[in-house]
């Protein structure tokens, strides 16, 4: 049996607790892992003065696969998002976010089975930004005002949206390849080409060119605001959705909400031959250190990692065990309970134990 070398980044807030729960569940399958623990985020900053140490990036580059907990990014402090930095440094251009109904999870929608493919490295999150009142912003604004009929106020803060032909080609290709490999029927290109004629116009134009290379997969396009409304009204008409970074961030949270919230929504960041899996949710600081956070999103991210490693039947085993525990209501975390009572809930480690019992068959069958 082979051993998988995996970089494990526990992260901040609830990260270490949900990561530990996930490590235990994945090991219970019987697959051998060599976990290489690395830090990123606030903990890394306290220990090394760097939020994204080179050693962490090197470890993922070497192992080619990582599993990561959420990381705290303080708002408006100039502290750059470690997540954006990590995705850019490792060329993880795809953010894959499945939204599938799990029986027993309370939600307004039923039978949802959607895949959001979000571009991860450019768009509105290109990282090209200039702060209000800085000489750099002044210079950029001066140049814009020379070249553009539409003038920009000199004290504006500026974020640059970047869409490149190659960036669109690879993300849309990923969506169609994913659809083909996973028996999916349709890819919808989501955009705002009616307003952002050049950036979003390019996304749509190249997206449609790529779609023509996959005649076996149905394709269409939707403007992002209409897409959100249609997801609320007729989600069954959609299958795989592909879009730029900011839209993907928002639409994937919307889809997560449709299947019961962030606590059960996994994700993966994938590049060419390298991938880091992580839940969609953040570090939820108010739940940190209380053994009450829901580990499911992180555990299902671990299952996505197993699929990426080619361990399909083990991934299925984990997914079925999670679904079984949720459906039975046995030792689930407070957010999965109707009464939301933490006193009666399973806790993070208790829920992991219940999942492990199903995975290993130690759970007494009725
Ligand atoms: P959040 O996802 O941490 O929390 C949003 C809400 O969902 C909160 O009510 C929280 O308690 C709840 N929640 C989230 N995960 C949960 C879980 N596993 N179990 C139970 N409840 C859960 O989002 P936020 O509050 O906007 O962000 C907090 C921090 O996380 C910020 O610093 C943000 O930048 C960061 N963040 C990191 C990532 C990442 O590392 N990938 C993603 C999103 C946010």
Other Cβ atoms within 10 Å of 72 Cβ, number:
20
CA-CA-CA-CA torsion for 323, 329, 333, 336, nearest 10 degrees?
80
Kindly report the protein residue whose alpha carbon is nearest to atom 36 of ligand 1.
282
User: Of 358, 327, 352, 349, whose CA–CA distance to 106 is shortest?
Assistant: 327
> Which structure tokens are listed for 211?
């779609």
Q: How many CB atoms lie within 10 A of CB 22?
A: 29
pLDDT at 364: 62
Q: Of the residues 45, 125, 178, 334, which is catalytic?
A: 125
For ligand 1, say whether the CB of 293 is within 6 Å of any of its atoms.
yes
Q: State if residue 357 touches ligand 1 by the CB under 6 angstroms criterion.
A: no
* C-beta neighbour count of 79 within 10 angstroms: 14
Residue 75 pLDDT > 70, yes or no? Answer: no
- pLDDT value for 365: 58
Q: 19, 40, 252, 282: which to mutate for ligand 1, most atoms within 8 A of CB?
A: 282
Q: Is 283 in the pocket of ligand 1 (CB under 6 A)?
A: yes
Q: What is the pLDDT of residue 43?
A: 86
Q: Give the bridge partners for 242, in sequence order.
A: 117, 189
What band does 110 get if pLDDT is binned at 50, 70 and 90?
A: very high
Nearest Cα residue to atom 27 of ligand 1: 282
pLDDT in the model for residue 127 = 83
Distance 211 CA to ligand 1 centre (A): 35
pTM attached to this predicted model: 0.92
Residue with tokens 């039947």: 313
* pLDDT over threshold 60, residue 77: no
What does the longest C-alpha to C-alpha distance in the chain come to? 75
Tell me: pLDDT of 266 over 80.
Answer: yes
Q: Is the CB of 291 under 6 A from ligand 1?
A: no
Structure tokens that stand for 336 in this block: 């999965």
Please write the tens of the pLDDT for every residue from 275-319: 999 999 999 999 999 999 999 999 999 999 999 999 999 999 999
pLDDT for 59 equals: 98
Beta bridge partners, 67, equal 8, 277
Per-residue pLDDT of 223-259, as tens digits, reads 999 999 999 999 999 999 999 999 999 999 999 999 9
pLDDT of residue 78: 58
**3-state SS of the chain?**
CCEEEEEEECCCCCHHHHHHHHHHHHHHCCCEEEEEECCCCHHHHHHHCCCCCHHHHHHHHHHCEEEECCCCCCCCCCCCCHHHHHHHHHCCCEEEEEEECCCCCCCCCCCCEEEEEEECCCECCCCCEECCCCHHHHHHHHHHHHHCCCCCCCCCCEECCECCHHHHHHHHHHHHHHHHHCCCCEEEEEECCCCCCCHHHHHHHHHHHHHCCCCCCEEEEEEHHHHHHHHHHCHHHCCEEEECHHHHHHHHHHHHHHCCCHHHCCCEEECCCCEEECCCCCCCHHHCCCCCCCCHHHHHHHHHHHHHCCCHHHHHHHHHHHHHHHHHCCCCCHHHCCCCCHHHCCCHHHHHHHHHHHHHCCCCCC
Q: Ligand 1, atom 31: nearest CA belongs to which residue?
A: 72
Quote the ligand 1 centre to 256 CA distance (angstroms).
13
Rounded (10°) CA dihedral 298, 302, 308, 311: -150
Is there an atom of ligand 1 within 6 Å of 278 CB? yes
What are 121-133's pLDDT values in tens digits?
Answer: 999 988 899 999 9
Query: Does the Cβ of 301 fall within 6 Å of ligand 1?
Result: no
Considering Cα of 90, then 91, then 93, then 96, what sign does the dihedral take?
A: negative
Given a contact cutoff of 8 angstroms between Cβ atoms, the answer to whether 307 and 277 are in contact is: no
pLDDT at 339: 85
Asked if 158 contacts 145 with a C-beta cutoff of 8 angstroms, the reply is no
Q: Residue 84 — very low, low, confident or very high, per pLDDT cuts 50/70/90?
A: confident
131 noted as active-site residue: no
Q: Is pLDDT above 80 for 74?
A: no
The closest alpha carbon to 21, from 39, 32, 2, 8, belongs to: 8
Q: How confident is the model at residue 79 (pLDDT cuts 50, 70, 90)?
A: low
Among 16, 39, 278, 283, which is best to mutate for testing ligand 1, by the most ligand atoms less than 8 A from CB?
A: 283
- Give yes or no for a contact between 65 and 3, defined as CB atoms under 8 angstroms apart: no
Specify the ligand 1 atom closest to the Cα of 70. 40
The pLDDT score that the predictor gives to residue 214 is 98
**What pLDDT is recorded for position 73?**
80
On whether the CB atoms of residues 324 and 359 are closer than 8 A, the answer is no
Query: What pLDDT is recorded for position 260?
Result: 87
Confidence of residue 47 (pLDDT cuts 50, 70, 90): confident
Strands 275-277 and 268-270, bridge-based pairing: antiparallel
Atom of ligand 1 nearest to the CA of 41: 40
Q: What are phi and psi of 279, to 5 degrees?
A: -70, 160
């Amino acid at each position: 049996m082979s051993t998988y070398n995996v970089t494990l980044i526990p992260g901040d807030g609830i990260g270490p607790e949900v990561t530990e729960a996930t490590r235990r569940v994945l090991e219970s399958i019987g697959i051998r892992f060599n976990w290489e623990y690395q830090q990123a985020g606030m903990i890394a900053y306290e220990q090394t003065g760097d939020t994204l140490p080179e050693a962490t990036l090197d470890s993922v580059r070497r192992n080619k696969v990582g599993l990561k907990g959420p990381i705290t990014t303080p708002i408006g402090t100039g502290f750059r998002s470690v997540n954006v930095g990590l995705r850019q440094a490792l060329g993880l251009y795809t953010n894959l976010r499945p939204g599938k109904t799990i029986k027993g999870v309370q939600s307004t929608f039923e039978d949802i089975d959607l895949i959001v493919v979000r571009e991860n490295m450019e768009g509105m999150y290109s990282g090209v930004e200039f702060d209000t009142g800085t000489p750099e912003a002044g210079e950029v604004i001066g140049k814009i005002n020379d070249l553009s009929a539409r003038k920009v106020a000199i004290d504006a803060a500026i974020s640059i949206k970047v869409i490149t032909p190659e960036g669109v080609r690879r993300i849309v290709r990923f969506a169609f390849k994913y659809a083909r490999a996973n028996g999916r029927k349709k890819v919808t290109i989501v955009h705002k080409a009616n307003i952002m004629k050049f950036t979003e116009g390019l996304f749509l134009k190249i997206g449609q060119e790529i779609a023509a290379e996959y005649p076996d997969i149905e394709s269409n396009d939707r403007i992002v605001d209409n897409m959100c409304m249609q997801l609320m009204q007729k989600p069954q008409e959609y299958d795989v959705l592909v879009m730029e970074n900011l839209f993907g961030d928002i639409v994937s949270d919307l889809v997560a909400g449709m299947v019961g919230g962030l606590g059960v929504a996994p994700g993966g960041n994938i590049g060419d031959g390298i991938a880091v899996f992580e839940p969609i949710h953040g570090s939820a600081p108010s739940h940190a250190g209380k053994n009450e956070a829901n580990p499911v999103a992180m555990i299902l991210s671990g299952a996505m990692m197993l699929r990426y490693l080619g361990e399909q039947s083990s991934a299925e085993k984990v997914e079925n065990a999670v679904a079984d525990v949720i459906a039975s209501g046995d030792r689930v975390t407070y957010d999965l309970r109707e009464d939301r009572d933490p006193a009666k809930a399973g806790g993070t480690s208790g829920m992991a134990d219940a999942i492990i019992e199903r995975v290993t068959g130690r759970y007494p069958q009725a």
